Structure 1
Amino acid sequence: MARRVWVHIGTPKSGTTYLQSLWWHNREALADQRLLLPGGSADEQFRASAVVRANAGVLATMTEHQRGAWDRVVDEVAASDGDALVSQEQLVEASREDAAAALARLRGAAEEVHVVVTARDLVRQVPSAWQQRVKHGSPTTLRRFFGRLAKDDPDFNFWHHQDVPRILERWSDGLAPEHVHVVPLPRPGADRDLLWRRTCALIGIDDTGLALDAPVANETLAPAEIAFHRAVNAHFRNAHLDVALSRRVKSFMEPRLGGAAGEPIALAPDMHAWLVERGDRMVDELAAAPWDVVGDLDDLRPDPEPGAGVDPDAVPTADVLAVAEEFLAAELLARAEPPAAAARAVSHPHSSDEERGSATALGRVLRRLTGGR
């Protein structure tokens, strides 16, 4: 039986990819400190999380062996005599009943079970969460996304992932309050590794000698890239709701974007003001709760002053076209020698003939993306 098991359940876009990349990159060194990462890979822990949260769409894409991932993770924890760490941000999706069942399994495998939530202020979370939806195939504008979340419906996907007090209510069944931990993501401008140091202090990791330069593949897109991605997504009906198609869109588009320069996203004044008020209420709830806070809760209070940036729903067409042309040029160069017409199309970006050539080439890319459908 393990001594302690740490269950890091999210939230998405709160430094989870950064932390996971470091944990998995240093897996062997952490094992030397008697900290086990059960499952052997981040993919296996993702599959285990899909079982825990009973995600029918993901389960339908898994083999019978893969659907046993959660059982294998629990068995590895039970066979350990040190500590274990499970980290998967999609666990925030679990219902109260599914979370309670998962915690009950882990209580049979470890002397102590700890739940950890990393969190970030809502003004930064909303554009990031919206962008992630776009990466997974949604054509939704930021304004429309905000309109949905501003209804404050707890069943809306965003709040199920980001309302930290409600998440911890679902994930604290049978746990002592001191075993439920909130780790705020530091404010912009803080030391880059402060989130890492906070989690290390909590879990008991000595990072002396660890490799802290692991690559983190979770690119932020420039506003023009997001607009281009949304335009591509519009060719696929509800791609973000179809697990297989969403994965195809993301795996095709993501490696080809992320290199464009651009200003950061700015929220409209009404969006910013609403999120400041809602974010402050969430922090006040956390301050009144008995859970353990590692760091400063005020890091979760949004800056009352709007930041500089651009409206991602109003990117000039010329900027979107420039991203499309670079995207197509890179894709064509990565394949066989492009036809002369396509080569001319990406060489002269400003005439109407060339714009039509880019559109034709984009159509070919989209057909490849959808397997000819």
Structure 2
Amino acid sequence: MARRVFVHIGTPKSGTTYLQSLWWHNRGALAEQGLLLPGGSAHVQFQASAVVRDNAAVLETMTERQLGAWDHLVDEIASFDGDALISQEQLVETSRDSATAALDRLRAVADEVHVVVTARDLVRQVPSAWQQRVKHGSPTTLRTFFTRVAKDDPDFNFWHHQDVPRILERWTSGLRAEHVHVVVLPPPGADRDLLWRRTCELLGIDDTGLSLDAPVANETLAPAEIVFHRAINAHFRNAHLDVSLSRRVKAFMEPRLGGAAPQRIALAPDMHAWLVERGRRMVDELAAAPWHVVGDLDDLRPDPAPADGVDPDAVPDSEVLAVAQDFIAAELLARVAEPDDAGAGGGAVSETSSEDAKPASRTALGKALRRLTRRGE
């Protein structure tokens, strides 16, 4: 039976990829300190989270063995006598009943159960969440996305993932207040390792000798790359709502973008002002709650002064065309370099695209690129 189990439930885009990369990169050393990462990989923990949150669209893509991922995690924790860490940001979307059932399962195999939320200010979260939707196949503009956000509908996907007080209402049934932790993401310009040190303090990790150079993919795209990606997405109807199609589009596009110098996304003045006020209200709620805070809640209060940046809905066509040209050139070079396994005429299929997706990808890509080329004439 475990001593403590920590369930890091998100939020998405709050340093989760960075933390998870370091945890899994140092998995062996952490185990020597008495901290278990059950499941063997981040992907298995994602599968377990899909079971916990009863995500039908994801469950349909999983094998029978994968559907048992949550049971396997619980069994592994039960046979460990130290601490355990589950980290999966999609757990934030779990319903109250499902979260309570998951906590009950963990209480049966650990002396203490702790819930951890990492949080970042809303002015930074909205552009990041929007970009993530685009990378998963959405053609939505930032303005359209913000319009949905500003309705403040608790059932909208963004708020289900980012309204920290509501998330904790769903995830704290039967937990003592001191076992619920809000870890604050530092503001821009702070020491980049500060979030890591805050989580080490919480988990009781001594990071002396741990490797902090784990490879972390650069998930940020330049504004022109985002516009190009949206143009491609428009040819895959509702891809972001279809798990299988979304994965194929993302797998095809992601390795081929990200080369441009990242630029900060600027919010229009009305967007910025609304999020500053909404962010302040959320922080006030957290300040009045009994949860344990690691860091300074004031770091979650957005800066009232808008930062410099680029409006992704007003990127010049010439910049988008340049991205398209680089994209085409890189894809052609990759295909020319492939061995001609198909005999007369065709290169081998890239590892990042499937046979089923290849014809559709090429057709849609061609249409989008022709449209973008016409825009640049």
Judge same fold: TM > 0.5, yes or no: yes
The 5-angstrom pairing of residues 33-182 of structure 1 reads 33-182=33-182
Please say if residues 224 and 262 of structure 1, whose CA atoms lie closer than 8 Å, have aligned partners that are also in contact.
Answer: no
For 1:280, the aligned partner's letter is: R
Cα distance in structure 2, aligned partners of 1:86 and 1:162: 19
Please say if residues 248 and 369 of structure 1, whose CA atoms lie closer than 8 Å, have aligned partners that are also in contact.
Answer: no
User: C-alpha offsets along residues 274-309 of structure 1, whole Å, 9 cap, x if unaligned?
Assistant: 000000000000000000000100110001000001
Q: Give secondary structure in 2 for the equivalent of 1:336.
A: helix
> Judging changes above 3 Å, is the alpha-carbon distance between structure 1 residues 241 and 365 closer, same or farther for their aligned structure 2 residues?
closer
For 2:329, the aligned partner's letter is: A
> Judging changes above 3 Å, is the alpha-carbon distance between structure 1 residues 81 and 226 closer, same or farther for their aligned structure 2 residues?
same
For 1:73, the aligned partner's letter is: L
Please say if residues 21 and 214 of structure 2, whose CA atoms lie closer than 8 Å, have aligned partners that are also in contact.
Answer: yes
The 5-angstrom pairing of residues 193-232 of structure 1 reads 193-232=193-232
Show the counterpart of 1:326.
Answer: 326
Please say if residues 265 and 310 of structure 1, whose CA atoms lie closer than 8 Å, have aligned partners that are also in contact.
Answer: yes
Show the counterpart of 2:31.
Answer: 31
Cα distance in structure 2, aligned partners of 1:261 and 1:79: 47
Please say if residues 184 and 299 of structure 1, whose CA atoms lie closer than 8 Å, have aligned partners that are also in contact.
Answer: yes
User: C-alpha offsets along residues 298-345 of structure 1, whole Å, 9 cap, x if unaligned?
Assistant: 11000100000111011111110100100110111011269xxxxxxx
For 1:367, the aligned partner's letter is: R
Show the counterpart of 2:271.
Answer: 271
Please say if residues 220 and 262 of structure 2, whose CA atoms lie closer than 8 Å, have aligned partners that are also in contact.
Answer: no
Please say if residues 19 and 196 of structure 1, whose CA atoms lie closer than 8 Å, have aligned partners that are also in contact.
Answer: yes
Structure 1 residue 50, shift from structure 2 partner? 0.1
Cα distance in structure 2, aligned partners of 1:95 and 1:13: 20
For 1:121, the aligned partner's letter is: D
Cα distance in structure 1, aligned partners of 2:41 and 2:310: 38
For 2:252, the aligned partner's letter is: F
Show the counterpart of 1:241.
Answer: 241
For 1:304, the aligned partner's letter is: P
Show the counterpart of 2:361.
Answer: 366
Show the counterpart of 1:5.
Answer: 5
Q: Give secondary structure in 2 for the equivalent of 1:116.
A: strand
% same residue:
81
Cα distance in structure 2, aligned partners of 1:258 and 1:233: 16
User: C-alpha offsets along residues 43-80 of structure 1, whole Å, 9 cap, x if unaligned?
Assistant: 00000000000000000000011000000000001110
User: C-alpha offsets along residues 237-273 of structure 1, whole Å, 9 cap, x if unaligned?
Assistant: 0000000000001111111111112532100000000
> Judging changes above 3 Å, is the alpha-carbon distance between structure 1 residues 290 and 337 closer, same or farther for their aligned structure 2 residues?
closer
Cα distance in structure 1, aligned partners of 2:166 and 2:255: 34
Show the counterpart of 1:291.
Answer: 291
Cα distance in structure 1, aligned partners of 2:146 and 2:170: 25
Cα distance in structure 1, aligned partners of 2:168 and 2:115: 8
Please say if residues 263 and 309 of structure 2, whose CA atoms lie closer than 8 Å, have aligned partners that are also in contact.
Answer: yes
Structure 1 residue 142, shift from structure 2 partner? 0.2
Please say if residues 177 and 291 of structure 1, whose CA atoms lie closer than 8 Å, have aligned partners that are also in contact.
Answer: yes
Task: Return the TM-score normalized by structure 2.
Answer: 0.90
Show the counterpart of 1:352.
Answer: none
Please say if residues 232 and 364 of structure 2, whose CA atoms lie closer than 8 Å, have aligned partners that are also in contact.
Answer: no
Please say if residues 218 and 258 of structure 2, whose CA atoms lie closer than 8 Å, have aligned partners that are also in contact.
Answer: no
Please say if residues 17 and 218 of structure 1, whose CA atoms lie closer than 8 Å, have aligned partners that are also in contact.
Answer: no
For 2:91, the aligned partner's letter is: L
Specify every segment of 5 or more residues in structure 2 that has no aligned partner in the other structure, as ranges.
339-357, 366-377
Cα distance in structure 1, aligned partners of 2:149 and 2:118: 20
For 1:284, the aligned partner's letter is: D
Structure 1 residue 225, shift from structure 2 partner? 0.2
Structure 1 stretch displaced more, 209-218 or 95-104? 209-218
Q: Give secondary structure in 2 for the equivalent of 1:144.
A: helix
Cα distance in structure 2, aligned partners of 1:104 and 1:90: 19
Q: Give secondary structure in 1 for the equivalent of 2:336.
A: coil
Q: Give secondary structure in 2 for the equivalent of 1:335.
A: helix
For 1:186, the aligned partner's letter is: P
Please say if residues 142 and 313 of structure 2, whose CA atoms lie closer than 8 Å, have aligned partners that are also in contact.
Answer: yes
Show the counterpart of 1:256.
Answer: 256
Q: Give secondary structure in 1 for the equivalent of 2:138.
A: coil
Specify every segment of 5 or more residues in structure 1 that has no aligned partner in the other structure, as ranges.
339-362
Cα distance in structure 2, aligned partners of 1:67 and 1:364: 31
Task: Return the TM-score normalized by structure 1.
Answer: 0.91
Q: Give secondary structure in 2 for the equivalent of 1:328.
A: helix
User: C-alpha offsets along residues 103-153 of structure 1, whole Å, 9 cap, x if unaligned?
Assistant: 000000100000000000000000000000000000000000000010000
